[in-house]
């Protein structure tokens, strides 16, 4: 008897907790509402099964509790019942899987007009690169990275000269414009995630990964690294600020291009400041060679 | 009704070699039952280490300001070791090395494993693997903190704690574990296929044996992927090869690596790692089927479907691995395939749940402690199973992966649920292993605290995962999408976790006390029909079945057979003794 009551309480407790607990998705700020819808559908299907199975179990433990004068019913198989259950489960699976695949198809199909922005991850900070006026990101290589050229942009590639390079954890993006974030890592795995945008992808050294989304709400959002990347993982934070288009353009115009940043670095180096400031620059080490 | 008398034994029995000295009987023993207990003790001992590590992590998460015992490096080392210990060194070793060794020969009617000597070596190699793992706590830099998945490049780079000796010992330990397991595993498979007694057809085997059998086959096919992955990672670390290492800058320095693929490791790891979930799951499915059937006094419902579901799950489990990698950066088009296979695997799994519950239907249920744990398993497994349907569906996995939702999901489904089965199984088979009963009152307290506690730990963690709380964060700091109530929850969870931890002391006390002074168990105390309870001695002696091996006439689930004189008919009871009509029907299949 008390077991049946306990099972009912656990079931109802779970449902009540689901309804009243204060934690739920952050208010969505991107176009990925359909992912949330898929989750709602999944909740309805699985929740029904959860309640049905557990309440039936509770009822059995009440109804068929031990009685020494009784025996269980001997009926080893009931093919019809089993096939019915398999059939119903299959329908449930289809109801969940179909919208999931549709949503995934949208997620992996980047719209033609999406603007490309590069996100550079390294232990344990973020950097960003916009393609500049020509709309094309310049070639890069990990081998070219040094204290001045933190993105490893190829200085010989003309398309890279006008790239806007932001060696800072704050990224601005314009409202309502689809954006394709291209991810690079210089060292280990990382992951760039803003919960309000729903989209997530690992960042892998040696490969460029991506996802796309359209920001739909102006605001300041925390971006967290979502793939364990060493001792400082929990400190690897960025900020994404969604601006109205004009604000965004004004912000972007203030950021240095690759060409400009390198010139400034060269000037600073001539004055001898760079090496003093940067503890990691080792004179004579070809790894930290100057580009200019 | 006629029955087919089993054919006479084709091969004459050979007198079993009986060990004579203490050392050969209890230390370097070739008796599967002793090896089982050695495996179990070692696994549980290292499991306690894993439990303590989790308490330390919980204290940090619950009370980050009051407990400054651990720093971030410790935290990452503890999560890594906790995960690795629990999944591999505790659950895999205990289900297969522990329960597998104890139950396979007894339940199929064999005198021992077919290769007792290899079986012995298997344990000692496992022990060596455990010792190497423990040694990594004491080398400079400590054990690896790369996360239990050991993803390169970070697993072997400076920015990760334990990238010196720790990661090397971890990989070496895994390699030894796999070698040891392979010896044991081949033994289990061959014993099930070749060692069954007369009349014990495959379709008469208890589901416990089916579960362990299929899980062992999975392990024999899956562990090699981890083995090669481990060896390659070791080469990358020690000889600076570049299997998994692209050109990298670590701590401001260009490294010599180049051209390798970090994702390749993830494929190898999860090609092992997903079947691994079922290597732990299938024995639990099998054992719980038997616990439910015995204590509900009813045959398992839909036995044949249950067997085929195990086989189907085992097969499909090899083509779902990349659902751990939806956001890994692999080709996104894989997502469609793996989401589909992953949700398909839910169908045989759901069928198993239905059949457990339908076994309770029209049953005559005794609420013994094993039954309570079995019910606890059903609740936690259903809960953890359905959250798997969220994560298996690619699009939903995108916002949820690497959040606390994932942590809650896998702890519920492959932590709490299998542990419920392990506890239930220990309460169930303890009388057979020791000849004594465990204390009933202590057992009930242990169950309710563990079940309600574990459920209230992991249920709410799902919801902070929705909120976006990441896993593997030493502390949350200032994050604008995380409300302060999350910290309150973390404190609550920590308090409950510590309570559940302490409840286990009760269990160990019960175990040790009952071993020496528990109530003497009557013969076959649960009135079970399967062979392990039909041995002449309890606990069974070396050789298990006395002078003559049993002959099996029916399946292991002849409970409530109409007309039979008892409410159960042992598998080896001669049809003439069963009494009543329809008794032979009990030999379904």
B287-516 belongs to CATH 1.10.1660.10: no
A 230-259: CB under 8 A from B = 230-235, 237
* A93 domain residue, yes or no: yes
SS3 content of chain A, % helix, strand, coil (to 5): 40, 20, 35
Distance CA B537, CA A99 (A): 59
* A238 CA: distance to closest CA in chain B (Å): 11
Predicted complex ipTM: 0.93
Q: Give whole-number Cα distances, B78 to B6, B52, B137, in Å.
A: 55, 9, 10
Are A267 and A165 in a shared domain? Answer: yes
Mutation target vs B (from A33, A53, A199; most B CBs, 10 A cutoff): A53
Which residue in chain A is spatially nearest to B346 when comparing CA positions? A93
* Least Cα separation, residue A29 to chain B (angstroms): 12
A177 within domain boundaries? yes
Q: Are residues A217 and A100 in the same domain?
A: no
Please state whether the peptide bond connecting residue B357 to the residue before it is cis, i.e. omega within 30 degrees of 0: no
A102 and A167 share a domain? no
Contact flag B363-A60 (C-beta cutoff 8 Å): yes
Same domain for A127 and A96?
no
Residues of B in contact with A235 (CB under 8 A): 477
Judge: A200–B263 Cβ closer than 8 Å, yes or no.
no
- Residues in chain A within 8 Å Cβ distance of B424: none
> Which tens digits make up the pLDDT trace of A224-257?
999 999 999 999 999 999 999 999 999 999 999 9
pLDDT for A106 beyond 80: yes
**Same-domain status, A178 and A131:** yes
Residue A51 near chain B (CB below 8 Å): no
Q: Do A73 and B560 touch (CB under 8 A)?
A: yes
Q: Which of A188, A198, A289 to mutate to test the interface with B (most CBs of B within 10 A)?
A: A188
113-142 of A, contacting B, C-beta below 8 A: 122-124, 141-142
Q: Which two tokens stand for residue B139?
A: 């080398």
d(CA B448, CA B170): 36
> Regarding beta strands A219-225 and A209-213, do their DSSP bridges make them parallel or antiparallel, or are they unpaired?
unpaired
Distance CA B352, CA B359 (A): 10
Question: Exposed, middle or buried: residue B499 (CB in 10 Å: 0-12, 13-18, 19+)?
Answer: middle
The per-residue pLDDT for A270 is 79
DSSP conformation class of A241: E
Query: What is the pLDDT, as a whole number, of residue B589?
Result: 44
Nearest CA distance, A75 vs chain B (angstrom) = 8
CATH number of the domain to which A184 belongs = 2.60.40.420
Q: What is the pTM of this model?
A: 0.93
B455 vs A10, A145, A224: nearest CB: A10
> What's the CA gap between B379 and B420, in Å, rounded?
10
The first and second tokens of residue B272, run together, are 């092992």
Phi then psi for residue B416, to 5 deg, are -65, -50
Dump pLDDT digits (tens) for A202-212: 999 999 999 99
Q: B33, B142, B61: which is closest to B473 by C-alpha?
A: B61
A110/B contact by beta carbon, under 8 A = no
- Distance, in angstroms, between A76 CA and closest chain B CA? 5
- Give yes or no: residues A126 and A52 share one domain: no
Contact A201/B at CB under 8 A: yes
Question: Which fold is adopted by the domain B26-251?
Answer: Cytochrome C Oxidase; Chain A (1.20.210)
Domain positions in chain B: 26-251, 287-516, 522-589
Same domain, residue pair A188 and A247: yes
Domain extent, residue A274, equals: 115-288
The conformational region for residue B482 under phi > 0 = left, psi -120 to 50 = alpha, else beta, is: beta
| Same domain, yes or no: A99 and A48 | yes
Residues of chain B contacting A209 with CB distance shorter than 8 Å: 329
Q: Which residue of B has its CA nearest to A203?
A: B329
| Residue numbers in B near A230 (CB within 8 A) | 76, 154, 157, 159-161
Note whether B211 and B287 are within 8 A (CB).
Answer: yes
**Residues ≥6 apart with Cβ < 8 Å to B551:** B6, B197, B198, B199, B572
Same domain, A81 and A141: no
Which residue on chain A is closest to B476 by alpha carbon? A234
Low-confidence ranges of chain B (pLDDT < 50): 1-2, 583-584, 586-589
The kind and range of the H/E element at A240 are strand A237-243
> Residues of B433-451 as b/e, b for ≥16 C-beta within 10 angstroms?
bbbbbbbeebbeebbebbb
Is there a contact between A205 and B340 if contact means CB atoms under 8 Å apart? Answer: no
Bridge partner list, A182: A118, A210
Q: How many CB pairs under 8 A join A and B?
A: 335
Assess whether A266 and A209 both reside in one domain.
yes
Residue-level pLDDT at B3: 58
A76 and B557 in contact by Cβ < 8 A? yes
Q: Mean pLDDT throughout A28-57?
A: 96
* Numbers of helices and strands, H then E, in chain B: 17, 2
pLDDT band at A272 (very low <50, low <70, confident <90, very high): low
Q: Do A93 and B343 lie within an 8 Å CB cutoff?
A: yes
The number of folded domains in chain A is: 2
- Answer positive or negative: Cα dihedral of A245, A246, A248, A253: positive
Answer for the pair A143, A249: CB distance below 8 angstroms, yes or no.
no
State the Cα–Cα distance between residues A159 and A254, nearest whole angstrom: 20
> Does A71 fall in a domain?
no
Rounded Cα distance between B337 and B334, Å, is 5
* Distance, CA of B193 to CA of B200 (rounded, Å): 11
E strand segments, B188-336 = 249-250, 253-254
Interface touch B360/A201, C-beta < 8 Å: no
Indicate whether A185 belongs to any domain.
Answer: yes
According to DSSP, the residues that pair with A215 across neighbouring strands are A30
Residues in chain A: 292
Which residue of chain A has the CA closest to B293? A72
Sheet holding A202-203, edge to edge: A170-174, A237-243, A219-225, A190-193, A202-203
Q: Which residues of A touch B246 (CB under 8 A)?
A: 142, 205-207
On the question of pLDDT at A292 being above 90, the answer is no
Report yes or no: B105 and B61 within 8 Å, Cβ to Cβ.
no
Contacts of A34 in chain B (CB under 8 A): 395
Task: Examine the domain organization and report whether A89 and A225 are in the same domain.
Answer: no
Question: For chain B, what is the largest distance between any 2 Cα atoms, rounded to a whole number of angstroms?
Answer: 83
**CB pair distance less than 8 Å for B401 and A186:** no
Contact B480 A221 (CB under 8 A): yes
Q: How far is B434 from chain A (nearest CA, A)?
A: 27
Helices (H), B68-164: 72-84, 101-108, 116-135
Tell me: pLDDT of A289 over 50: no
| Chain B residue numbers touching A42 (CB-CB < 8 A) | 389-390, 393, 396
A-chain residue closest to B152, CA distance: A188
**What is Dmax (Cα atoms) for chain A?**
99
**Shortest Cα–Cα distance, A216 to chain B (Å):** 17
Residue A72 in any domain: the answer is no
What pLDDT is stored for residue B2 in this prediction? 47
Q: How far apart are CA B283 and CA B36, in angstroms?
A: 15
Four-point Cα dihedral B41, B410, B414, B437, nearest 10: 70
What pLDDT digit, counting tens, does each position of A111-130 carry? 998 999 999 999 999 999 99
- Position A126 scores a pLDDT of 96
Nearest Cα residue in chain B from A106: B395
From the list A54, A86, A201, which residue is nearest B379 (CB)?
Answer: A54
Does A131 lie in the same domain as A43? no
Quick one: pLDDT at residue B582? Answer: 52
Task: Identify all chain A residues contacting B464, using CB atoms and an 8 Å cutoff.
Answer: 23
Residue of B143, B154, B297, B374 to mutate, testing the A interface (most A Cβ within 10 Å of its Cβ): B154
How far from the centroid of its chain's Cα atoms is residue B159's Cα?
33
Say yes or no for a CB contact (<8 Å) between B468 and A195.
yes
pLDDT at B67: 72
How many other β-carbons are positioned within 10 Å of the β-carbon of residue A156? 11
């Amino acid at each position: 008897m008390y077991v049946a009551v306990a099972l009912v309480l656990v079931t109802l407790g779970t449902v009540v907790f689901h309804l009243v607990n204060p934690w739920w998705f952050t208010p969505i700020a991107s176009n990925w509402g359909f992912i949330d819808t898929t989750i709602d559908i999944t909740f309805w299907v699985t929740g029904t099964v959860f309640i049905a199975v557990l309440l039936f179990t509770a009822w059995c433990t009440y109804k068929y509790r031990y009685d020494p004068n009784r025996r269980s019913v001997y009926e080893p198989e009931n093919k019809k019942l089993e096939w019915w259950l398999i059939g119903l489960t299959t329908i449930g699976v289809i109801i969940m899987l179909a919208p999931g695949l549709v949503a995934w198809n949208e997620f992996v199909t980047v719209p033609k007009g999406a603007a490309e922005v590069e996100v550079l991850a390294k232990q344990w900070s973020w950097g960003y690169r916009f393609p500049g006026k020509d709309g094309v990101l310049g070639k890069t290589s990990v081998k070219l990275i040094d204290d001045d050229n933190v993105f490893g942009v190829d200085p010989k590639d003309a398309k890279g000269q006008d790239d806007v390079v932001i060696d800072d954890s704050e990224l601005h993006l314009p409202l309502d414009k689809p954006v394709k974030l291209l991810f690079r890592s210089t060292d280990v795995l990382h992951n760039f995630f803003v919960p309000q945008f729903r989209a997530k992808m690992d960042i892998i050294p040696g490969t460029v990964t991506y996802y796309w989304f359209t920001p739909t709400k102006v605001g300041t959002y925390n971006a967290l690294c979502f793939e364990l990347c060493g001792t400082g993982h929990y400190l690897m934070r960025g900020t994404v600020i969604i601006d109205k288009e004009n604000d965004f353009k004004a912000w972007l115009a203030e950021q240095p291009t690759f060409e400009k940043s390198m010139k400034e670095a060269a000037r600073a180096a001539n004055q001898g400041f760079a090496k003093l400031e940067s503890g990691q620059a080792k004179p004579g080490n070809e790894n930290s060679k100057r580009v200019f | 009704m006629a029955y087919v008398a089993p054919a006479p034994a084709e091969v004459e029995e050979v007198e079993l070699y009986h060990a004579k000295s203490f050392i050969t009987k209890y230390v370097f023993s070739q008796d599967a039952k002793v090896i089982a207990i050695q495996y179990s003790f070692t696994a549980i001992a290292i499991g306690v280490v894993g439990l303590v590590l989790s308490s330390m992590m919980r204290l940090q998460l619950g009370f980050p300001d009051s407990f400054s015992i651990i720093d971030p490096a410790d935290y990452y080392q503890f999560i890594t070791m906790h995960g690795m210990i629990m999944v591999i060194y505790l659950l895999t070793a205990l289900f297969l090395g522990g329960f597998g060794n104890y139950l396979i020969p007894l339940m199929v009617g064999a005198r021992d494993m077919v290769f007792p000597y290899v079986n012995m070596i298997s344990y000692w190699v496992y022990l060596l693997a455990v010792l190497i793992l423990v040694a990594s706590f004491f080398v400079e830099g400590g054990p690896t903190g790369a996360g239990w998945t050991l993803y390169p490049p970070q697993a072997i780079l400076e920015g990760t704690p334990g990238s010196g000796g720790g990661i090397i010992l971890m990989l070496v330990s895994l390699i030894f574990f796999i070698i040891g397991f392979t010896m044991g595993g081949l033994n289990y498979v061959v014993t099930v296929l070749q060692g069954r007694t007369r009349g014990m057809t495959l379709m008469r085997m208890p589901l416990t044996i089916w579960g362990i059998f299929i899980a062992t086959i999975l392990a024999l096919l899956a562990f090699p992927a981890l083995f090669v992955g481990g060896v390659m990672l070791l080469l990358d670390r020690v000889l600076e090869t570049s299997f998994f290492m692209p050109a990298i800058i670590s701590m401001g320095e260009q490294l010599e690596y180049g051209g390798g693929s970090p994702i390749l490791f993830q494929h190898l790891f999860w090609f092992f790692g997903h079947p691994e979930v079922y290597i732990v799951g299938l024995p639990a499915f099998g054992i719980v089927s038997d616990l439910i059937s015995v204590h509900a006094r009813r045959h398992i419902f839909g036995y044949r479907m249950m067997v085929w579901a195990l086989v189907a799950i085992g097969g499909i489990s090899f083509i779902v691995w990349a659902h751990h990698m939806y956001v890994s950066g692999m080709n996104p088009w894989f997502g469609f395939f793996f989401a589909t296979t992953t949700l398909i695997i839910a169908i045989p799994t759901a069928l198993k749940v239905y059949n457990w519950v339908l076994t309770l239907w029209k049953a005559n249920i005794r609420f013994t402690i094993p039954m309570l744990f079995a019910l606890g398993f059903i609740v936690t497994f259903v809960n953890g199973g359905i959250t798997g349907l969220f994560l298996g569906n690619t699009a939903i996995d995108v916002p949820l992966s690497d959040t606390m939702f994932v942590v809650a999901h896998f702890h519920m489904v492959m932590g709490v649920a299998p542990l419920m089965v392990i506890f239930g199984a220990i309460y169930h088979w303890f009388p057979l292993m020791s000849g004594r009963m465990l204390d009933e009152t202590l057992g009930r307290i242990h169950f309710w605290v563990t079940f309600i506690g574990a459920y209230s730990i992991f249920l709410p963690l799902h919801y902070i995962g929705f909120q976006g709380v990441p896993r593997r964060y030493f502390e949350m700091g200032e994050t604008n999408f995380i409300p302060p109530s999350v910290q309150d929850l973390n404190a609550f969870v920590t308090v409950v976790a510590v309570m559940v931890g302490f409840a286990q002391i009760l269990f160990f006390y019960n175990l040790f006390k009952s071993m020496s002074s528990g109530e003497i168990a009557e013969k076959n105390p649960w009135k079970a029909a399967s062979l392990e309870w039909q041995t002449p001695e309890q606990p069974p002696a070396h050789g298990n079945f006395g002078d003559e091996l049993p002959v099996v006439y029916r399946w292991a689930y002849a409970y409530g057979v109409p007309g039979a004189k008892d409410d159960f008919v042992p598998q080896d009871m001669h049809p003439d003794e069963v009494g009543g009509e329809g008794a032979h029907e009990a030999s379904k299949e």
